[in-house]
Amino acid sequence: MKLLETLTQTPSVPGREARIRAVIEAYVTKHKLVDELRTDAMGSLIGIRKPRPKGKAKNPPLKVMLAAHMDQIGFLVSYISAEGFVRVNPVGGFDTRNLFARRVRVCTASGDLPAVMNPAGRPIHIASADEKSKVPEITDFFLDLGLSGDEVKEKVKIGDMVVLDGPFSEVGNYVVSQCLDNRVGCWAVIRTLEMLKHHNCEIHAAWTVQEEVGLRGAIPASFSIEPDIGISCDTTLCCKTPGVPDEQRVTVPGDGVCLKVMDSSTIADIGLLEDLEAVAAKKGIKCQRGVLPRGGQDGAAIQRSRGGVRTAVFACPVKYIHTITEMSHKTDLESYPALLSAYLETL
Ligand SMILES: [Zn+2]
């Protein structure tokens, strides 16, 4: 949990993944989880774990790519007014209804600055009925750093990253935090490498960049890795909550990691999915199938790279996804690296 907490509390939005990459790089290096480690031109971190066979090595080994995107949804500074109010451009999909009265962190070259985020307009006491019912556009929001225009302009640059600020905590049987999407996937890949004992396959663990703006980092990463099998490691919706019809729940919390059947970017290889389910059944690891009508993940980029790659999609169920109160059930977290490592040991 400590590692997952550190990952969720390290800001990194699309195109600004240096901080989270440094955390992951330091961890996998310290614990000797990979044999080779490189950062590609776009910033994805790629570690190679050579086969560690029990007996004689298979020749040549199957090449398996694990892809977990490192970026979280956030903003880049787009404008600073004379009074020091900062406007931002979103990188990733926000529901503006979740952006009222938020504490945010403005990450500058000289350090992080706290700020608050609100939509432009009048508070409830003096707002018109019309204003009260309007859902603001993302461009209506601004940041207040509590500093003068000159002070803000001295410290903040156009292009600096901004993230929502929220703590990591445990609530009942769940963990709650911002950016469980997709620090859970990053964590699961690390835990998998830690749990693996003997395996014949060659594992290429890619912590990718810029997924939230269209799977951009996974495209060159899969092109260079040229895998035989791809496994996207991400999160997915869990809407088993009031106000959502049960047929739209996507996943059930506590039923184990979701093996995605399809979303709007990928139809998973059904043979791989069945192999994974067979391993889960044999080892007594919980997992569930899920279909997401809209949404994508890095698997789409892997599947369509070069001549095509057989691809499966792991996704941890997350309630209230893309808010700062994302919730994941501990059973689903545990089953994720348990199943992934058990499966890799069979290849
Ligand atoms: Zn994601």
Supply the CATH number for residue 83's domain. 2.40.30.40
pLDDT at position 129: 81
Do 43 and 14 form a contact (C-beta atoms < 8 A)? no
Q: Is residue 154 part of a domain?
A: yes
Q: Report how far ligand 1's centroid is from the alpha carbon of 142 (Å).
A: 25
Q: Report how far ligand 1's centroid is from the alpha carbon of 296 (Å).
A: 8
**Continuous H helices in 178-261:** 180-195, 218-225
Calculate what percentage of the chain has a pLDDT beyond 90.
88
Q: Report how far ligand 1's centroid is from the alpha carbon of 235 (Å).
A: 5
Q: Report how far ligand 1's centroid is from the alpha carbon of 215 (Å).
A: 10
Does one domain contain both 107 and 12? Answer: no
Query: Is the pLDDT assigned to residue 79 strictly greater than 90?
Result: yes
Q: For 92-125, how does the pLDDT look when each residue is reduced to its tens digit (9 = 90+)?
A: 988 888 888 999 999 999 999 999 999 988 777 8
Q: Is residue 236 part of a domain?
A: yes
pLDDT at position 56: 82
pLDDT at position 121: 83
What is the identity of the amino acid at 107? C
pLDDT at position 259: 98
pLDDT at position 131: 79
Q: Report how far ligand 1's centroid is from the alpha carbon of 148 (Å).
A: 37
Q: Is residue 321 part of a domain?
A: yes
Q: Report how far ligand 1's centroid is from the alpha carbon of 187 (Å).
A: 13
Q: Whole-number mean pLDDT of the chain?
A: 95
Does one domain contain both 226 and 340? Answer: yes
Does one domain contain both 156 and 199? Answer: no
Q: Report how far ligand 1's centroid is from the alpha carbon of 295 (Å).
A: 9
Q: Report how far ligand 1's centroid is from the alpha carbon of 232 (Å).
A: 10
DSSP for 260-306, written as a single string: EEE-SS-B--HHHHHHHHHHHHHHT--EEEEE-SS---THHHHHTST
Q: How far apart are CA 204 and CA 28, in angstroms?
A: 13
Q: Is residue 297 part of a domain?
A: yes
pTM: 0.95
What is the identity of the amino acid at 34? V
Supply the CATH number for residue 296's domain. 3.40.630.10
What is the identity of the amino acid at 214? G
Domain closes at, from 164, 199, 229? 164
Q: Is residue 169 part of a domain?
A: no
Q: Report how far ligand 1's centroid is from the alpha carbon of 277 (Å).
A: 22
Structure tokens at 291: 């279909």
Q: How far apart are CA 98 and CA 168, in angstroms?
A: 18
pLDDT level of residue 329 (50, 70, 90 thresholds): very high
Q: For 156-177, how does the pLDDT look when each residue is reduced to its tens digit (9 = 90+)?
A: 999 999 999 999 999 999 999 9
Does residue 148 sit in helix, strand or coil?
coil
Does one domain contain both 270 and 308? Answer: yes
Does one domain contain both 250 and 307? Answer: yes
Q: For 221-270, how does the pLDDT look when each residue is reduced to its tens digit (9 = 90+)?
A: 999 999 999 999 999 999 999 999 999 999 999 999 999 999 999 999 99
Look at the chain and report how many structural domains it folds into: 2
Torsional sign, CA 29, 213, 211, 167? positive
Query: Is the pLDDT assigned to residue 290 strictly greater than 90?
Result: yes
Q: Report how far ligand 1's centroid is from the alpha carbon of 254 (Å).
A: 19
Q: Report how far ligand 1's centroid is from the alpha carbon of 253 (Å).
A: 17
Order across the sheet with 202-208: list the strands: 36-39, 45-49, 202-208, 63-69, 229-237, 310-318, 257-262, 287-291
Q: Is residue 58 part of a domain?
A: yes
- Residue 312: exposed, middle, or buried by beta-carbon count in 10 A (0-12, 13-18, 19+)? buried
pLDDT level of residue 201 (50, 70, 90 thresholds): very high
Structure tokens at 235: 């999160």
Q: Is residue 251 part of a domain?
A: yes
Does one domain contain both 185 and 54? Answer: yes
Average pLDDT on 293-297 reads 92
Does one domain contain both 250 and 135? Answer: no
Q: How far apart are CA 41 and CA 217, in angstroms?
A: 9
Does one domain contain both 283 and 213? Answer: yes
Query: Is the pLDDT assigned to residue 58 strictly greater than 80?
Result: no
Domain closes at, from 131, 164, 197? 164
Q: For 126-137, how does the pLDDT look when each residue is reduced to its tens digit (9 = 90+)?
A: 888 887 778 888
Does one domain contain both 205 and 299? Answer: yes
Based on the residue annotation, tell me whether 202 is a catalytic residue of this protein.
Answer: no
**Catalytic one among 211, 212, 326, 345?**
211
**Continuous H helices in 11-98:** 18-30
> Which residues, 6+ apart, have CB-to-CB distance to 254 below 8 Å?
173, 329, 331, 332
Range of the domain at 132: 74-164
Do 91 and 14 form a contact (C-beta atoms < 8 A)? yes
Residue with tokens 């608050």: 116
Distance, C-alpha 327 to centroid of its chain: 13
Does one domain contain both 46 and 118? Answer: no
Q: Is residue 311 part of a domain?
A: yes
CA distances from 202 to 170, 177, 188, 308, 317 (A): 35, 33, 18, 19, 28
Strand 287-291 to 229-237 pairing: unpaired
pLDDT at position 132: 79
Do 64 and 231 form a contact (C-beta atoms < 8 A)? yes
Average pLDDT on 285-303 reads 96
Does one domain contain both 269 and 144? Answer: no
Domain closes at, from 130, 164, 198? 164
Does one domain contain both 90 and 222? Answer: no
